[in-house]
Amino acid sequence: MRRLVPPGAVRMPWADAVPWADSGPLADAGGRAAAGSAAPAGSFGIVGLGRMAQALLLPLIADGVIEPASVRAAVASEASARQLAASLDLAVSTDASQAWRCAAVLLAVKPQQLQAVASFAASLGQLGPAGSSPPLGAGSGAAGPLAAGQPLVGGLPLAAGGERRPLLISVLAGVRLERLQGLFPGWCCVRAVPNTPCLVRQGLTGLAWGADLDPQRRDWVRLLFARVGEVVELPESQLDAFLALTSSGPAFVALVVEALADGAVAAGLPRLQAQHLAHRTLAGTAALLHEGDLHPGQLKDMVSSPAGTTIAGLRELERAGVRSALIEAVLAAAARSRELG
Ligand SMILES: NC(=O)c1ccc[n+]([C@@H]2O[C@H](COP(=O)([O-])OP(=O)(O)OC[C@H]3O[C@@H](n4cnc5c(N)ncnc54)[C@H](OP(=O)(O)O)[C@@H]3O)[C@@H](O)[C@H]2O)c1
């Protein structure tokens, strides 16, 4: 079987055990997958190539972790497919059947789109891969033959033992593993909560494992997300809180930075300079907190001299309830994440 995995890439050791048709040309002259070609071993499917999936994929491609020719991405609209295929030089289609035939799939649609996406994947399963089932038991380490009438999911036969099951990584806010496993019964499921700073390799990703996820696949997922930032494994019950802080947090912090810059403009600085200085203040403060291993209260007290400028500003922030507003913002985001699931 041909593998499209670049040197130094994060390999999928289970890919050979996931049987599918390995026929047809893998790539056109431009390196992109030819229409109708089967997903090769080591292919990476992406269902929903929006902001979050791109924030993950682009640095992984730039660093050679994922080979563009091995990506089978699906989006909803022809306009997005055309635009992304041209700008990223990837195989992007509105037909998700190729993506669903990969050994690992990143699911990154909106939670509201999940049901439609799952129905499509299930319909593929009933049809079988590319209209014809692969020979059962094909592939090294394959599990035993299937029981008669056992369904196909995502074009891949289900097998007892689990070693032939492909991997589904869902980044959908709030959507529980139990629901994912119900919608995608032939898949090993992982919930991942990445954030957009993954785009600059400063990300944070929370991971919660589905039932029966073997060590091989766990290692693969850890390695993948570690290439774009820090990985935190935590109980699924804590993922909504994790998301509220780390995924919604960049927007909250950006709002604070924007408001600080507005304040500097009100105080007399030119806009561009105020923005630049606000960014640098954020970056410097984050570095000081991190490298100095400081509690935020310690840093605040370090900067606040008696009857000085900083304490005058802090007094205004407390009067306006900024601290409470930020606490409520994180709580609201966590509650919304639970609702979406
Ligand atoms: N953004 C974040 O910071 C963040 C953080 C953590 C988790 N998440 C989660 O990531 C997921 C995606 O969020 P996002 O911000 O990236 O959303 P987005 O930019 O709107 O992307 C959604 C993508 O899904 C595609 N899509 C919709 N229906 C589809 C279908 N039936 N088949 C295939 N593709 C389909 C869309 O295609 P079109 O462009 O053609 O419509 C688009 O590419 C959400 O579930 C969110 O909860 C996001």
For residue range 285-323, what is the model confidence (pLDDT) as tens digits? 999 999 999 999 999 999 999 999 999 999 999 999 999
In this structure, the residue with its CA closest to atom 29 of ligand 1 is 76
- Looking at per-residue pLDDT, the higher value among 138 and 292 belongs to 292
Taking the centre of ligand 1 as the mean of its atom positions, its distance from the CA of residue 331, in whole angstroms, is: 23
What per-residue confidence (pLDDT) applies to 51? 94
Q: Which atom of ligand 1 is nearest to the CA of 337?
A: 47
DSSP β-bridge partners for residue 189:
168
For residue 296, which of 306, 288, 305 has the smallest C-alpha distance? Answer: 288
Does the C-beta of 247 come closer than 6 Å to ligand 1?
yes
Does the C-beta of 74 come closer than 6 Å to ligand 1?
yes
Judged on CB neighbours under 10 Å (0-12, 13-18, 19+), 96 is buried
Rounded-to-integer distance, Cα 265 and Cα 149, Å: 69
DSSP β-bridge partners for residue 188:
167
Q: Which atom of ligand 1 is nearest to the CA of 74?
A: 33
For residue 266, which of 329, 306, 316, 305 has the smallest C-alpha distance? Answer: 316
In this structure, the residue with its CA closest to atom 19 of ligand 1 is 50
Residues in the chain: 341
Q: Which atom of ligand 1 is nearest to the CA of 109?
A: 24
Torsion angle of alpha carbons 168, 173, 176, 177, nearest 10°? 20
Taking the centre of ligand 1 as the mean of its atom positions, its distance from the CA of residue 112, in whole angstroms, is: 10
Sequential DSSP letters for 62-119: HTTSS-GGGEEEE-S-HHHHHHHHHHH-SEEES-THHHHTSSEEEE-S-GGGHHHHHH
For residue 41, which of 141, 161, 120, 109 has the smallest C-alpha distance? Answer: 141
Does the C-beta of 49 come closer than 6 Å to ligand 1?
yes
Does the C-beta of 250 come closer than 6 Å to ligand 1?
no
Rounded-to-integer distance, Cα 282 and Cα 296, Å: 13
- Looking at per-residue pLDDT, the higher value among 140 and 327 belongs to 327
Q: How confident is the model at residue 186 (pLDDT cuts 50, 70, 90)?
A: confident
Rounded-to-integer distance, Cα 177 and Cα 188, Å: 10
The H or E element spanning position 44 is strand 44-47
- Looking at per-residue pLDDT, the higher value among 162 and 168 belongs to 168
DSSP state of 147: P
Neighbours of 61 (CB within 10 A): 19
Does the C-beta of 50 come closer than 6 Å to ligand 1?
yes
Does the C-beta of 113 come closer than 6 Å to ligand 1?
yes
Sketch out the chain's domains with CATH numbers.
15-239 (3.40.50.720), 249-340 (1.10.3730.10)
Does the C-beta of 193 come closer than 6 Å to ligand 1?
yes
> For 4-13, 49-58, 314-323, which range has the lowest pLDDT when averaged over its residues?
4-13
Q: How confident is the model at residue 16 (pLDDT cuts 50, 70, 90)?
A: low
What per-residue confidence (pLDDT) applies to 18? 54
Taking the centre of ligand 1 as the mean of its atom positions, its distance from the CA of residue 53, in whole angstroms, is: 7
DSSP β-bridge partners for residue 44:
71, 104
Q: Which atom of ligand 1 is nearest to the CA of 193?
A: 6
**Are the beta carbons of 2 and 22 closer than 8 angstroms?**
yes
- Two tokens, residue 337: 């994440």
Global pTM value: 0.81
Percent of the chain with pLDDT over 70: 76
Taking the centre of ligand 1 as the mean of its atom positions, its distance from the CA of residue 195, in whole angstroms, is: 13
Neighbours of 180 (CB within 10 A): 22
Rounded-to-integer distance, Cα 125 and Cα 106, Å: 18
Neighbours of 137 (CB within 10 A): 14
Rounded-to-integer distance, Cα 211 and Cα 249, Å: 29
**Average of per-residue pLDDT across 25-42:** 41
> What is the CA angle 319-241-173, rounded to 5?
120
Taking the centre of ligand 1 as the mean of its atom positions, its distance from the CA of residue 163, in whole angstroms, is: 29
What per-residue confidence (pLDDT) applies to 125? 72
- Two tokens, residue 241: 């809180």
pLDDT tens string 249-290:
999 999 999 999 999 999 999 999 999 999 999 999 999 999
Q: Which of 75, 92, 94, 106 to mutate to test the pocket of ligand 1 (most atoms within 8 A of CB)?
A: 75
Confidence check: pLDDT of 7 > 70: no
Confidence check: pLDDT of 173 > 60: yes
User: What residue has token string 């289609």?
Assistant: 93
Phi, psi of 2 (to 5 degrees): -75, 140
> For 37-51, 132-146, 233-247, which range has the lowest pLDDT when averaged over its residues?
132-146
DSSP β-bridge partners for residue 183:
none
Please enumerate in sequence order all residues whose Cβ is within 8 A of that of 124, keeping only pairs 6 or more positions apart, or say none: 97, 100, 101, 152, 154, 155
**Are the beta carbons of 253 and 259 closer than 8 angstroms?**
no
